[in-house]
Amino acid sequence: MLTGCGGGTGDRPPSGPLAEALADVDGGGANGSLGIGWTEPQLAEKRGAGAELIADALGPNAGSVIEAAPLLRRRFGFDPLSAERLVSVGGSYAFGLRLDGVDGRQLGRALTRGGARVRQTGPLELAAVGDYAVVPGPLLEAGVRGLGARDAFGRALTVLAISARARAALLGRGARLLDEPIYRAAADCLGDVVAARMIPDKLLLSTELGVDLVAVGVEGRREILCVLGGTAERARAVATALETSLAPDAREPRSGESMAGLVGAVDVVTAPYEGIEVVRAEMTSAAGQSPGFLFGTVSRGSLVELINGS
């Protein structure tokens, strides 16, 4: 096990598309209480990431918007995969999804036709379409889950959210996530991934791991796992557990598959970033495997077991 982590040393803030997304979103706090999903579809596509991986990065609810993209295009001229950037906020599931570069006004007219409360704020229409977490009929019929009760529609920006609070976070109407050390540490650790997901530790499986935030990302055939927060002793224990649970002779905790057939070379390092303990595991996809192993461990519930070595 080596020390040294990510692309920075903590002396300068992270940069790049993921860091820019964190600068445009607010909420959370010093201990990583808000989860994030992020990708730039065109960038992801250039690196071989398809719609399924993008949906996995955004998490349940937000991922259903990607899955419903063909119907949304046909019915409302609304194409989620044409977005310049996609950002979700939440935890084990998404509370809201922001689509930059997507004109949502036609969709907005369809959703607000039944008497929703709408008010103009600058270039955006803010809409209260239903009660908390109620999915409007047109979205529900297209296969969207969870989102749509509180929305924002504009020429170049759309937000679909469960609540006004989630919508406000995605519109950046408060303190920036990038101003919190743990989110800077996560962006630095993930580096130049093209799709990423960050989840507060207690929301992975409604359990506490002795850390604060877990982040996973994909860049081509390379995948990154970052475990952030907790004590130096806990970081050393996590690093040791990951070396063991990702070794070729180990097995995926839930599926029982041989790890040798899922991931290739694995490198685990540790280093603090601005006082945040960081464990970083970098791995390549095994021959014949599509990228997305780590996103799969989140949905299967096995990531906690990999981190704990159980």
The residue length of the chain stands at 310
Q: What CA–CA distance (Å, rounded) separates 295 from 169?
A: 24
pLDDT given for residue 9 in this prediction: 43
Domains of the chain: which residue ranges? 2-6+180-308, 25-170
Rounded average pLDDT per 10-residue block, the chain, 310 residues: 48 86 84 91 89 96 97 96 97 96 96 90 94 95 97 97 96 90 96 96 84 95 96 97 96 93 95 96 93 94 91
Listing DSSP states for 143-176 in one string gives T--S--SEEEE-SSEEEEESSHHHHHHHTT-SSB
pLDDT given for residue 8 in this prediction: 45
Check: CB of residue 270 under 8 Å from CB of residue 3.
yes
Q: What CA–CA distance (Å, rounded) separates 209 from 220?
A: 29
pLDDT given for residue 2 in this prediction: 47
pLDDT given for residue 80 in this prediction: 97
CATH of 2-6+180-308, one of 1.10.3470, 3.30.1360, 3.30.70, 3.40.190: 3.30.1360
